[in-house]
Each structure stands twice: as structure tokens, then as C-alpha cells.
Amino acid sequence: MAEPIIAKKSPYVLQLEPGDYWWCACGKSANQPFCDGSHKGGEFSPVKFTVTSKVPLALCGCKHSNDKPFCDGSHNSL
């Protein structure tokens, strides 16, 4: 299995409006941390997540989290 591209070795801390979002799992998106379709034809698929309230979220930037799309600190061991 291919490894994702590390977009950033730290989380993207964002305060998003309630709604559905697609997190980039491959690391190729030009619209990090969100999917822009760059994964097409590859092994990765974006991860859909729903925001229910406007609170700060830490989204994984390294693409290695075990709690995708959220940061779990995996970037500290890369």
C-alpha cells in the first residue's frame, strides 16, 4: 500500500461552520486539509466528517493519524 504525502507535520487548527466536509487523505490536495479530487486514480479516498457546532478542531496534516480526520499526534513520530 502506498504512503500518503505529508502535507504538514502539524495539525490544521480550524473553526468550521456546521456542515459536512471532506478531509484529504492522500496529501495531494492544493486545498489542504480538504479534498480537491487530486486522489482520483490512486489508492486513497477522502474522509467525510460532519461538524455540528462551531468549535476549534485539529485536523490531521501529516495524513498518518489513527483518528482520521482528526490529529492524534502521529506527526510527532514522523
User: Does residue 17 carry a pLDDT above 80?
Assistant: yes
Q: DSSP assignment, residue 38?
A: T
Three-class DSSP category at 51: strand
Cβ-contact 33, 69 below 8 angstroms: yes
Q: Is the peptide bond before 69 cis (omega within 30 degrees of 0)?
A: yes
Model confidence over 34-76: pLDDT tens digits? 999 999 999 999 999 999 999 999 999 999 999 999 999 999 9
User: Does residue 1 carry a pLDDT above 80?
Assistant: no
**Does the pTM of the predicted model rise above 0.85?**
yes
One DSSP character per residue, 9-25 reads SS-EEEEPPSEEEEE-S
pLDDT at residue 26 in the model: 98
